[in-house]
Amino acid sequence: MSNIIDLESIIKDEIDNNNYVETLFFTLLRHNIISDSDYEQVILKLLNLLSTQIKRYTGELTSSVPVEVAKNINISNMWTISLYLKGKDIKESTQLLLCEDINSLYKLGKTELNNLIFKTKMFYNVVFLNNIIDTNNYFYNATLKEGIKGFFKMYNPDYDSTNIFITVDYDAYLERPKLNGIEFIKQYLDYIYYENMFCKQFDSAKINNLLKAIYSNYEELPINIFEHILTTTIILEYLGMDIFDLNLLDINIYNLYRDYKQNNEEYRGNLKVAYNSLINKLKLDSSTINYLDKCSGMTVNKIVSYTENNNLEILLGRTEKKEINYIPSEKMSNSEYRKLIDLLNKTNKEDKVNIIIENITSLYDFIDVMEDISFSSEELFKVFSKFQIIELMALKKYYYDDIKDSYIERELNGFIMTKSIAEQNIINNNYQYITIT
């Protein structure tokens, strides 16, 4: 391993932190830093750990479990060990995996995992819930009050530590955390906490009036509340109006269009100045401000885009807003997609759903796969169960616009009927307003 230090930065770039152990050793093997026998030694250790965990899982009544269960336990084992190892440098992580007893490494990882669960649950119960905002939005309440509690009840750190179990239907303004298990929940709660701390600077009744002015039925739409308050307050500050009133009628849209036409770069710059001035008026800690700084660029770009396209009336509630933007994740490359199809064609029925859930993040890739591979009703229902409500709405809108009766559309409608009455109504009454961009 003499050249491991020289290649450490390269190796780090090739490692997936959600799959640290496996990708670390594949990368080391690819760069000839470890031998085939070293790699096989680690695989044997992991298989022994899997055997031990399966016995614990079954209460030592049997050493065999369904393949899907064994796979989940193995993934969980490696992820738990990774929690401990990814805090080390590459050389130390490699030496520990090669030389240390695998059960000892797992116990160290499990300690890290248990500490993370304890701290995240304590933060949620003691800090987060005390700073939740008062709103009638279904998605906000269902996710942050009931959904997160459900996660802590269902989370299985011993045998399924990468699963989050809930769909998390209320999204943070920043990109959805690309993490698994409790790590996802921790970062997600951090994001929403910062958003809540900003929103709590404003009167809840005025927040609800603002949202009602933009969407007449905001209570049942998958919107991000923080985004609309941040957008409105930046514009109010830009115009020298009272930010705390959150009054859209105070905004002179003509002045915004005029300023943009006179000098669009100066307009953009002054919106950034307005954001900084806005932050100085609020009592926020440095971590919250750091989060807001990351959001401000997106918000300023959005305001400029709506101004450029003469759509400020829609953004600011002068025309009732029905459009709900849904931005799918980036599609796979053609080569990646072909490999996925080959894998699905070769795999057995039980693993097809897991492969889709683990490998597909884009709605467009999912639609393509549905057209290229046959799936049973049961398999489709399992896949749909992992979708957020907004993803179900976007998929229903896609097939509605396609104007043709299809097997997938029929199965999707059947799955929607298994949801609660409230969720069925939200999907069926609002899916047509989804804009897939």
pLDDT, tens digit (0-9, with 9 covering 90-100), for 54-74: 999 988 777 678 888 899 999
What confidence tens digit (pLDDT) does each residue in 348-362 have?
A: 766 788 888 888 889
Q: Which two tokens stand for residue 350?
A: 């039980």
Q: Could you give the C-alpha distances from 372 to 255, 270, 341, in angstroms and in order?
A: 52, 50, 8
The counts of H helices and E strands in the chain are 22, 2
Tens digits of residue pLDDT in 111-122: 999 999 999 999
As a whole number of angstroms, the distance between CA 295 and CA 407 comes to 40
| Cα first-last separation, the chain | 47
Residue 415 confidence (pLDDT): 95
Residues across the chain: 437
The Cα 57–Cα 291 span in angstroms is 41
Look up residue 3 and give its two tokens: 């050249």
**Is the distance from CB of 359 to CB of 388 less than 8 angstroms?**
no
Q: What is the pLDDT of residue 132?
A: 96
The 8-class DSSP code of residue 331 comes to P
pLDDT at 437 over 80: no
Place 346 in a pLDDT band, splitting at 50, 70 and 90.
confident
Q: Which residues contact 165 (CB under 8 A, 6 or more apart)?
A: 150, 151, 154, 155
